[in-house]
Each structure stands twice: as structure tokens, then as C-alpha cells.
Structure 1
Amino acid sequence: MELKKLRGVILAGLALIGLALSIFLAKNLIDNKASAVAPARKIIKEVVVQKALNGPVTISVPAQGLVTAKKRIEIYSEVQGVFRMGAQLFRTGQSYQSNEILIQIDAAEYLANVKSSRTNLYNQIAAILPDIRLDFSKEYPTWLAFLNAINVDKNLPDMPEMSDENLKLFVSGRGVLGAYYSVKNLEQRLSKYQVRAPFNGVLTEALVTEGTLVRSGQKLGEFIQPGLYELMVSIPKSYALKLNQGATVSLSNMEGTQSFTGKVVRLNAKVDPSTQTTSVAIEINDPNLYEGVYLKATLAGNTLQNAISLPRALISEGNTIFALENNTLKAIQVTPLHYSEGQVVVAGIPEGLEILAKPLLGAYEGMTVNPIR
């Protein structure tokens, strides 16, 4: 009996000792863990700042458009016939010098008709020469020289001037004047069987080939002068008023890998009522440019005084920006004057005030920062 009581006392004592030991170990573990946690440290962000320098800011107006050749013609036929082969093949990319034949249409039948008409005129003048010699002896040498100058293979020379009204009535009554101008009309028509290059250029479109039957009114191709181009762009009417003819314009391709320089040559006096924009023609003289290329243009607009241009990301929806005061951010109100791609021109910043030069993520008024000047 006593042995059982002793065993119970021993077990109870061991239980109390184990409980005390567990409490001691748990308290020691908690104290060690608390001492291992470092106190929180306040992080101060660095910001790039700049001094506000107000002054004149020239507004740049961006625009873009399609480049077209300044000198370009569409070639049409005014007569009908078979397209004959010339000195050069009528093909896209073919170069021609000024006055060189572009198109030669077979005119053999029509040329024979013109020669016949010239011969008839020659006979008519020869028939009236004896009467001119008798009645208008002073005019006879002139008309004889005119007759000798007529060549059936060449265009007619100019008609002699007739100051004598009686001579004019006589010549007209014999049908010479009517016959002369009929031949001149045929010669004018004959010239349309050849199409010559009006300037040095390149054929950019060829719609017929040699041996094709060409019809009157048919389009044959397009011809341009390379190196001289125009770019038509649309800009707001308020900026068009500030532009002058001859103003220099900076241009670049859409990829930004090439740059060009142009000048304003025309300003449209009409404003598009739906967009309130007007068109501006920019001339570009550059052999490295091609027709059909899209270009971006930067036109200089009006100048704003006492303003500063900043990145658009610096201004908030409430038209405020952050300034620096004793290493603390402070929001100040500004007045936006002009928005452009990535930039905004503002006024109302005190001269010399330090402001953010780059946007700061999570910035707020009263935030302590480390400025980088």
C-alpha cells in the first residue's frame, strides 16, 4: 500500500518537473526569437530633381503624310493606232530625257493624208501667183518665197503677213487661207501620234507594250521627275496662321532611320469644317526619297513665353507637379498650355524652384526623399 502511494508521489513530481521545464524552454525560445528580429528601417527613395527655368518655348506641330512627285503626268493617247517600238522599251523604271519620245503610234496613213493636203495647198498658191504678180507686185516676192518654203515632208512655214486688205480678200476668196489652216490643223493632229517627255524623268507605270492597238482616250502610263517631291499634311488652323511660306520643316521616315529637310511652299486658305484643319504643302528635294513613302513632319508653331516643357508623366490629373522643399515632396498647381506626344508645356512654376525631373512611382505629398541634382 505504501509502495503504491510512493509511486504516485514520484509520478506527480515528475509531471510537475516536466511542466516547469516545458514552460522554461518555451519562454527561452520566445525571448531568443524576439531578439533575432531586427527593428524596421525607414527607406528613403532617391529622386532626380531640376531647377525650373522659365522661358520661351516653341511649339512643334507633328504631322504625317504621303510623298508624291511634284512633277508627274498621266500619259493618255489622243489618237488611235498601233504602238510602235521606239529607241527604248516602254517599261516601268525606264528613264527618259526631256523631249525624248515616250510613245510612237503608227501614223503612216495619216501622214500620207497630211502630205496630200500640203500638195493641194502648194498648187493653190502656185495658181494665184500670176495674179499677185500683176495686181500686187510688191507682195509677189514674199509669196514666191513662201511657196518655195513649202515642203511636203515638213510643217508649213508661217503665212505671210497681209497688210493690204484687198490682197487678203483675194487670197481668202481663192480658198488659200482656209486650205492653209486646214493643213495646220492636220499637222497638229499628226503631232499627237508622238508623245514626248516634258522633262527628265522615269516611267513609273506602263499599261501598254509595243505592238498593242492603242485607242483614243486610253491611259498609257505615268511619268514623274525623281528627286523633287511634295508632302501634303493637315495641321490645326491655329498653327497654320503662324506658318510662313518658305519655312523650314524637319522630316523623317516612320522608322526614324532617315531624316530629310523640306520647306513650306503652299498654304491652303480653306479649313476643313469637320476637322478644323488646313492642308500644307511641303517641298522636298532629295534624290534618296521615293514616291509613295510615308513621312513624319515637325512644323514649328507659335512661341509660348514664360513656360517650361516637361514630361507628361510628371503632371497629375489635377494639374499638379511635385516640387522639393527641405527634402520633402510638395504638390504645386500649374497651368498646362500645350500637350504633345510625351511632353506638356506648363506655366506657373516659380523660377528656380526644384521640381522632379523624372516621375517617381508611389510619390505623395510630404514624402521624404533623397534628391539627386
Structure 2
Amino acid sequence: MLRKIILSVLGVALIIGAIIFANYLIDNKNKPKPVIPKVVKTVLVDTVKNSSIPIVISANGNLTALQRVELYSEVQGLFQTGSKLFKSGQKFNKGETLIRLDASEYYASVQSAKSDLYNSIAAIMPDLRLDFPDVFQKWQTYLNNFDLNKTTPTLPEISGEKENYFITGRGIVSTYYNVRNLEQRLTKYRIIAPFSGILTEALVTEGTLVRNGQKLGEFINPSVYEMEVAVSKSFADILKEGEAVTLTNLDRTKTYKGKVSRVNGSIDATTQTITAYIEVKHEDLKEGMYLEANLNADKVDNAIEIDRNLLLDTEEIYVIKDSLLDVIPVKPVHFSNTSVVLRAVPDGTIILRKPVPGAYAGMHVKSAVNSDNTSDSVQ
């Protein structure tokens, strides 16, 4: 009897527990799911305002001196010590002697030839007095002004045919030009600075035996430099001489002002580029310095310039409409290393100023507001 009572109590307890558990399940089934809050990114924006955008071409190269002279010897001789050392970095003023070779032996042969010319003219003076008294005086004056220690003076002008035959027949004209040729060669034993500048290379030293055709060094004018740059052929018709150019050094710590001095008239068939030469002056510049040049090639009307990373591969950019991202097609006109010039972007369009990671059309965003509650405009 007790056993039946215990089983009856357990059965009632199980039924009550089942009812409670069923009600619990029913209540949980109708409970609303938790709402996951949406993350809205804050983005930097710009308002489009189309304008004329200058096309800036970036190019780079090394500086070379505009005035440069490679020094070669045309004669042979011993390099003599001068007032200044012939060393790299040595400065010379215009007209100063760069190199002087020992010309004592050659100088003696020149003086001998000049003496022969003087003697030849002196030998015909008696015949001139008798046969050509009207031209005697000009030849006598020539002899009086003849100085062996100075450059041979030009022969008197021969006025008549008979005088010409007489003078030429005595070998005076040929002797005269032989002397002038020797004198001209004598000047090659001394190399003079054609302009004020500095030696950048010295290949010989004092006491060296210099041979004919030997390179002696290089001499430059350090006040004016030029840089050769290669520009795309598409700018061949708009790149002009005299165009202002801004140059920067490799560290981008200094800028220099230059101008386009020359533009090559032909296009390189291999690279399809045109060569332009930029002239620049500054006391801080040195030959061989690496500079980057920005050339103003042209202007594009009704366009804007934005960060190159904002342009999608499909030639579209993100815009903001009603706090949602959207895309619009654009027309790229010019690409630089960091930016791109676009057309077909309506004025007043709100676009991104910086790329947004994971952006997609329809994404909720919030525009960052400046202190004056207005967004910047991009041109």
C-alpha cells in the first residue's frame, strides 16, 4: 500500500514538472532577439568645386655644369709649376693660366723663324728702293716695328701686281705664314681659363711629362647648372622654353627655381620620350646632385585633383548620399605619383577625402564636421 502511494506521488510530481518545463519553453520561444548595434564610421569628406587644374609633370635627373671644358694637350712638354696648384677643387678666374708646359726649345725655333723672316725682308729693301720707290716706305716702317719679342705683325698690304710678284717670288709671304703657324702652336703650351670656374678633375701634376692628345682634367663654371629630364611624348606640343620649374632635393628639404632652357626637337624612338633641359642657379648646388623637377605642362578646365588611392579600378569614386556611400563614374585625365586629375564630377558632390578601409556601396557613414560646421572643398 505504501509503495502505491509513493509511486502516485512521483507520478504527480513528474506531471507537474513537465508542465512547468513546457511553459518555460513556450515563454522563451516568444522572447525577442537582442538587437546588435550598427557601427557607423566617421569619414573625412570634401565638397567638389571644379576649376582649372595645372598638369604638373614630375621628372628627375642629375645636375651637370652648363659650361664645361675637358682639358686636352695638343703639344708635348713638361708640366711647369704655376701660381696655383693644378688640383681638384682649385678655383681659377677668367684669363688665369690653368696649365703651362715647358716651351723653351720650341720657343727658340719660333724665334729663329721670325729672325729668318726679318732677314728676308731686309734683304729686298735695296731692290725695293730702286724698283718700287712708292712702296719702299711701308716696308721700311714694317721693319722698324718688327720686334722679335712680340707677335709678328701682319705684312703690309700688297697694292700692285708687280709688287705681289716681287714679294711672293722672294718667299716672304710663305715665310710669314710659317712663322704665324709656329706662333699659333706656341700658344698651345699655355692653357688659359675661358671663364671663372673650378677644377673638378685633375689627371696630371706638376713635373709630369705631358704628351700630345693626353687628357689633363675638367674645368666647370659652378654658378649655372642644367638637368636633363625625359618627358612623355604626349607633352611634346605643350612643353615650352622658358617655362618655370620647381626643383627639390632628394630629402625634400630644399627647393630651387629653374626654367626650361631647351627642348629636344626629336622623340626617342626606344622610350617614346622627349628630352628637356632645365637651367638652375643656386650657390648650394653641386654637379652630380640628384633633383626632382615639377614642370607645369598644361591646364585642365572643369576638373578636380584627388588622392590617387580614392580612384577605384573601375574608374569610379565613392560619394556620400543621405549618409550612405555610393559610387559614380569619373574620367581620369592625368595621373601623378600621388594624385589624379578627374573630370565629370558635378559641383557640390560630397566625396571622401581619404580612403575608408572596407568601404562598399550602401555603407553607413558619418561625415566629420570642421570647427566651422562646413566641409572643405576640393579643386
TM-score (norm 1): 0.90
Q: Which amino acid aligns with 1:367?
A: M
Q: Which amino acid aligns with 1:100?
A: E
The more displaced of 133-142 and 196-205 is 133-142
Per-residue displacement from partner, 1:26-80 (whole Å, max 9, x unpaired)? x9xxx9xx9xx98532221111111111121111111011110000010000111
Q: Say whether residues 1:74 and 2:76 are aligned partners.
A: no
**SS at 1:145's partner residue?**
helix
Q: Does the Cα contact within 8 Å between 1:228 and 1:287 map onto a contact in 2?
A: no
Q: Which amino acid aligns with 1:337?
A: V
Match of 1:255 among 245, 251, 255: 251
Per-residue displacement from partner, 1:69-119 (whole Å, max 9, x unpaired)? 000010000111111101111111111111111111101111111111111
CA distance in 2, matches of 1:350, 1:258: 38
In the TM superposition, residue 138 of structure 1 has moved relative to its aligned partner by 2.2
CA distance in 1, matches of 2:36, 2:233: 59
2:232 is aligned to: 236
1:312 is aligned to: 308
Match of 2:44 among 43, 48, 63: 48
Count the aligned residue pairs: 358
- Equivalent residues in 2 for 1:206-355 (5 A)? 206-355=202-351
TM-score (norm 2): 0.88
2:174 is aligned to: 178
1:152 is aligned to: 148
CA distance in 2, matches of 1:200, 1:38: 86
Q: Which amino acid aligns with 2:229?
A: V
CA distance in 1, matches of 2:199, 2:293: 28
Q: Say whether residues 1:205 and 2:205 are aligned partners.
A: no
Match of 1:127 among 123, 134, 141: 123
CA distance in 1, matches of 2:230, 2:157: 55
CA distance in 1, matches of 2:178, 2:329: 84
CA distance in 2, matches of 1:84, 1:275: 49
Match of 2:104 among 102, 105, 108: 108
CA distance in 1, matches of 2:146, 2:140: 10
CA distance in 2, matches of 1:100, 1:139: 42
CA distance in 2, matches of 1:189, 1:224: 25
Q: Say whether residues 1:165 and 2:166 are aligned partners.
A: no
CA distance in 1, matches of 2:236, 2:286: 27
- Equivalent residues in 2 for 1:133-144 (5 A)? 133-144=129-140
CA distance in 1, matches of 2:35, 2:233: 63
1:97 is aligned to: 93
**SS at 1:184's partner residue?**
helix
